[in-house]
Amino acid sequence: MRNIWIAFILIVSFGKFNSQNLSSPTPPMGYMTWNFFGDNITEQDVKTLTEAMVTSGLRDLGYDYIFIDDGWQGGRDAKNNMIADPKKFPSGLKSLTDFVHSKGMKIGIYSDAAPLTCAGYTASLYFEEQDAKSFADWGFDYLKYDYCGAPSDWQTAIARYSKMSEAIKKTGKNIVFGICEWGDREPWLWAKKSGGQLWRTTADVRDKWYSGQKNTKPHELHGHGAGILDILNINGGLDVFAGPGGWNDPDMLVVGLYGKKGPSGDLGGIGCTDTEYQSQMSLWCMMSAPLMITCDVRNMNEITKKILTNKDIIAIDQDVLGIQAKRKIYNDTWQVFVKPLANGDIALAVLNTSNNSKNISLDLNSLGISEKNQAFDVWTKQKIKLKNDFTVSVNSHETKVYRFSK
User: Does residue 73 sit in helix, strand or coil?
Assistant: strand
> Cα separation of 116 and 150, whole Å?
9
In the DSSP assignment, the letter for residue 328 is: E
Q: List the one residue out of 298, 246, 299, 257 whose CA is nearest residue 280.
A: 257
Among residues 131, 204, 230, 345, which one is catalytic? 204
Give Cα separations from 352 to 213, 215, 337, 357 (angstroms).
18, 18, 12, 8
> Cα separation of 287 and 310, whole Å?
16
Among residues 64, 146, 184, 345, which one is catalytic? 146
Q: Is 317 a catalytic residue?
A: no
CB atoms within 10 A of CB 367: 18
Q: Residue 401, exposed/middle/buried by CB under 10 A (0-12, 13-18, 19+)?
A: buried
Q: Is 332 a catalytic residue?
A: no
User: Does residue 75 sit in helix, strand or coil?
Assistant: strand
- The answer for residues whose C-beta is within 8 angstroms of residue 266's C-beta and 6 or more apart is 206, 225
Active site amino acids = 146, 204
